[in-house]
Structure 1
Amino acid sequence: MLLGTAVALALSFWHKDSILAFATPSGPQVDIINTGYARYQGNRTLPNAVAYLGIPYAEPPVGNLRFRAPLPLNTTRVVLESAGKTIDATEYPEFCIQGTTGGRDAGGAGSEDCLKVNIYAPPDATKGSKLPVLFYIHGGGYIYGNPRNWPFDHWVNQSPNVVIVSVYYRLSSFGFLSVPEMKDSQTGALNAGFLDQIEALRWVKRNIASFGGDPNKVTINGESAGGASVELHLVAKEGERLFSQAIAQSVYRTPLPTPEQQVPLFKYYAAKAGCANESVAESLSCLRNARRRYAAFHPVIDGNVITDYPTRLISQGKFARVPLIIGATTNETLSGGSSVAVALKRFFPSITDDNLSELEEAYPIQSFASESLRFQTITGESELKCANSILGSAFSKEGAKTWVYRYNQRNPTNPSPAVTHAAENWMMFLGTNTGFNGTTTFTDQSTLETDFSSELIAYWLSFVRTGNPNMRKLHRSPLWAPYGEGTRNRVVLQQARVEGPRKKSGSFVEVEAVEEAERCRVVAGQVETQQN
């Protein structure tokens, strides 16, 4: 259960201090890297891990740059401002301005000057190390999220042969404000928060070698809105090759409206900020000088980088053919209540009554043990889980190596007995439960839980290192069979039931049910109205 903001903040800082307790004494020349334009002092947070925190990748998007595409980092400015001194990169930076989590919080914490990355590397990594890179995109519905809440020190400490980058990108209205006039770059930029991610990947391509990484071996990874971002990168027109593999966790299948459909929300937002005006350009000028406000904007079809709905582009074979891991949790849904029609109309505003009837028919009540399980399945598959089948089928059909998982271990701090959305984050990131305004709490994990966490991290980093989750997995873990239209194998990830003298895995391989694949074909067929 989430704690109050003050307690959550205190625990968040306590966690960082607990990691720092492992830090080794460092002299002035220890754990310093040189990018060619700046020297950064890192923090030896664990014996095999150095964290370089808050490294800028673009110019601060403030003042007249608000609502515009990110500008590449002005390295000349950095040289002049640092004046030859080593820059302290041992503390987490301010996170991007937060929107509400929907849990009765107001949001609003954070900074606009947030286009930065946290980089985790082995202490002996050098420019010639050419270690594979994991580029992580956090979730939060494109509205909130703080990379500090998903630390990677222990990942690198477990496997000190990778470099991990975690990106801050603009959120909510600061990252995704949209109105048709913003198609003109003189006015603004659609999907600025997604363009931030692309600019960060470009920075990684130019500079990650200084941290020991290989710019030609980058795996993009994200969960929820981060998983949806991964899906968007797979179909986006980015102008150059910025990654070579992908891991998409619980892809958030939120609708991607057109800018025209966002006009009412834009007008509401401008009016609330005191910037209502007949001229959009004048409204934007006012908003750039207004007190910080936010509203729940999401990515849109911009016609330039994101040219169509991801499901349609994927069905047409218009995606990057790279090795892929994709999966979801067993019971996840983003909807509450009991009415399927109400829930799906709220999530997919353009869905029609005919679409709802088609879905109701595809999920007959006699196929489920209860109405609540049917509700969970019909909403969860459209909102999240059908991305597994849609992408898994398309990628494997085109010859891209594909692995699918079902995460089946509940978050033990969640009162629900179900394996809910983001349950794997608790396991993979030291017992994290995110709170309001960029905070989190960390909960101690049992031996069984830390063993399972190590198993998950080993699968993920085996894929990052070799393009196959099996090559460097833990010995006790089962062989993760690849996914294909004919086989539909997937691994069920869960911890061992009991401790014993020998560590065991509770994970196993199953076959995706034919009925699930058929239901997801129906979901994919509603691309025009689900808008994803």
Structure 2
Amino acid sequence: MIKAIRTVVVIAFAMLSLDAFAAPLVQTQSGELSGASDGPVLAFKGIPYAAAPVGALRWRPPAAPVSWQGVRDATKFGASCEQPRRNSTAVIPWTAEYLADPPFSEDCLFLNVWTPTLHPASKLPVVVWIHGGGFTEGSGAVPIYRGNHLAQKGIVVVTINYRMGLFGFLASGLLDAEQGSSGEYGMMDQVAALEWVKANIAGFGGDPAQVTIEGQSAGAIAVHHLLAAPSAQGLFARAIAESNSWADTALVPRERAEAIGDKLASLSGATTLDALRAMPADQLLALQTDARLGDHVRFFPVDDGKFIPAGMKERTDVPVLLGSNHDEASAFSPTWQIATSRAYQAMLGDRFAPLSAQFAALYPVKTDADVSTTVRRLLADSASAGVIAWSQARDEHAAPAYGYRFTHPEPGPLAARFATFHSSEVPYAFGTLEYGHRPFTAKDHAISRQLQSYWSNFIRTGNPNGPGLMTWPQLDSGNFMQLGDTQAVTPLLSKEQRDAFRDWLAAGGRIGLF
């Protein structure tokens, strides 16, 4: 009898042990998924949120994902979307943890989910990350975007892929004749991902009514577009735009985009859409950077007349957190490296006309030794002026908005050259400092914890403030939050500087990050 009892106990213990180590399972509308533990949270990777946009589905709105039978393995990232291969010898601040890894494919409409629980009753807040990369490169699988740390704060984290470059934003007369418009496929993908989240995230412990969209660089531009797109209404409750490229939120004029698309079709030798859709992806990628298309040709979201109808403005009933880094321009703009008074005066005359004299008085230099610091401060202030202009354009009943400037240089061998470079805040906000090989210190980890606290509070409530944190005022107070080695509530710009940027914009000036 005692032996039989012992046998039952051993079997029961074994069953409990097996259950403890069993793969987590989630049922979605397309089928069942098997994930894996990622430290103290659960991860589900490579989940298809739309059908593969290949063959006849190339350059079409995203179609519903194909259902599957049985349990689909969701322990590995899916392929990243097609993109040019980066030159590994380029001198850049972004090391491997910032970059998308192969494989690359057109079959790439996948998303990834990290969650602390699978109980639908938990109704946890959700954040959907939209990666940057100039609408040309990037992936939801980039190491610093991994959601295991934020998920430990009681947040369901989703990262997504979307079509980029000519695969996501090609416009042409051929496509218009077929569909009535073209050039917004990548943005449609993002809406499809948000629709998937709304339909399925409860099974991952998330609350579909408490979704925050968050993007950086091109992803921040996408956030602004989603705030204006009727198809995205009701799919998110809050928004974060990091490295807020305010000046680049203008859609590419339809005529210009179609002229580029028609020229690309001509260079390809294809005379029909069937022929274009049959071309191998690598041949199309080569055409994307073909000099015969023209100088500085880029494939960005297009003013197709449908995705964002004419006259449609951003919604203002959504709380927004947005800002920039001090040295956004360090990796892109030759202006950032100006070192002589003569070059500085020439830049002011070229960039800030007809108010160049006013800017020279506000940002004076006496000797060449003053130039570098002054130029970098002017560029940082220009980015913040874009946030101010965006804020002032909102109506008086708009939901709260919170502005920031991040000032901490990310350490590494190129820190002196690139300082607080474009996207350097991302691993601090995600808490993913362990990826890569930078010499992070206790100070870096403290800054990361601070950013994660502010960001997670905003994702939960639409307000970054919480116990133990310096109070972050709303933008309409005239103040930003400066985050980094020192933290301060500050207007950043004087009244005279704000007025100068306002007058310059009214005279046709264009504010950008770089």
Q: TM-score range by the shorter chain?
A: 0.7 to 0.9
Shift of 1:358: 2.9
The match for 2:363 is 367
Shift of 1:242: 0.9
User: Residue type of the partner of 1:478?
Assistant: M
Flag the 1:267–1:25 CA change in 2: closer, same or farther, 3 A: farther
Q: Match for 1:147 among 105, 117, 140?
A: 140
- Are the structure 2 counterparts of residues 445 and 531 from structure 1 closer, same or farther at C-alpha, using a change threshold of 3 Å? closer
TM-score (norm 2): 0.79
Greater Cα radius of gyration, structure 1 or 2: 2
Look up the SS of the partner of 1:91 in the other structure: coil
Gapped runs of 5+ residues in structure 1?
Answer: 1-23, 341-352, 434-439, 496-505
Residue 53 of structure 1: SS of its match in structure 2?
strand
The alpha-carbon distance between structure 1 residues 136 and 249, as it changes in their structure 2 partners (threshold 3 A), is same
The corresponding residue for 1:503 is none
Alignment of 1:357 with 2:343, yes or no, is no
SS in 1 for 2:420: coil
Q: In 1, Cα distance between the equivalents of 2:446 and 2:505?
A: 37
* CA displacement 1:33-82 (0-9 Å, x = unmatched): 122542211121111x11110111111100011111111224xxx23xx2
Q: What's 1:244 paired with?
A: 237
Residues 250-329 of structure 1 mapped to structure 2, 5 A cutoff: 250-252=243-245, 253-254=247-248, 255-275=250-270, 277=271, 282=272, 284-292=273-281, 293-294=284-285, 295=288, 296-307=298-309, 314=313, 318-329=314-325
Task: Give the 3 Å change call, closer, same or farther, for CA 227–362 of structure 1 in structure 2.
Answer: farther
Determine helix, strand or coil for the equivalent of 2:409. coil
Alpha-carbon distance in structure 2 between the residues aligned to 1:366 and 1:482: 26
RMSD: 3.3
Give 1:421's aligned residue.
Answer: 422
Work out the CA distance in 1 between the residues paired with 2:336 and 2:400.
38
- 8 Å contact kept, 1:224–1:249: yes
CA displacement at 1:127 relative to structure 2: 1.5
1:447 aligns with 2:442: yes
Question: Given the alignment, which residue of 209, 213, 226 partners 1:216?
Answer: 209
Please give the alpha-carbon distance, in whole angstroms, between the structure 2 residues aligned to 1:102 and 1:268: 26
Indicate yes or no: 2:56 matched with 1:64: yes
Structure 2: gaps spanning 5 or more residues? 1-16, 91-99, 289-297, 338-348
Please report how far the alpha carbon of residue 355 of structure 1 lies from its aligned counterpart in structure 2 after TM superposition: 8.2
Structure 2 residue 489 is the aligned partner of structure 1 residue 509: yes
Aligned pair in 2 of structure 1 residues 508, 357: CA closer, same or farther (>3 Å)? closer
The 1:444/1:405 distance shift into structure 2, 3 A limit, reads: same
- For 1:121, the equivalent position in structure 2 comes to 115
SS of residue matched to 1:422: coil
Q: Corresponding residue for 2:292?
A: none
Match of 2:184 in 1: 191
User: Which residue of the partner structure matches residue 389 of structure 1?
Assistant: 388
Q: Distance in 2 between matches of 1:264 and 1:339?
A: 33
AA aligned to 1:200 is A
SS in structure 1 of the partner of residue 141 of structure 2: helix
Q: Which structure features the higher share of helix residues?
A: 2
* Counterpart residue number, 1:55: 47
For 1:226 and 1:91, the matched residues in 2 are separated by 23
**Does 1:336 find its partner at 2:337?**
no
CA-CA distance at 1:234 after TM superposition? 1.1
After superposing the two structures, state which structure 1 stretch, 187-196 or 86-95, moved more.
187-196
**Distance in 1 of aligned mates of 2:199 and 2:241:** 24
* 1:113 partner letter: D
Aligned to 1:398: 397
| Matching residue's letter, 1:461 | S
Q: Which residue of 2 aligns with 1:468?
A: 463
**1:67–1:188 CA contact under 8 A, matched in 2:** no
CA displacement at 1:297 relative to structure 2: 0.8
Q: Give the aligned partner of residue 42 of structure 1.
A: 35
Q: 1:481 to 1:154 in 2, by over 3 A?
A: same
Q: How far is 1:121 from its partner?
A: 0.3
Q: Note the alpha carbon deviations across 1:84-142, whole angstroms, 9 max, x for none.
A: 2x21111111111123558778x9961111111111100x3311211111111000000
**Matching residue of 1:492:** 482
Q: Structure 2: how far apart are the matches of 1:210 and 1:470?
A: 29
Letter in 2 for 1:129: S
Could you tell me which residue of structure 1 aligns to residue 11 of structure 2? none
Equivalent pair of 1:98/1:109 in contact (CA under 8 Å): no
Percent sequence identity is 29
Aligned length, in residue pairs:
452
CA contact under 8 A between 2:411 and 2:438: conserved in structure 1? Answer: no
Note closer, same or farther for the CA distance 1:422–1:289 as it changes in structure 2 (3 Å cut): same
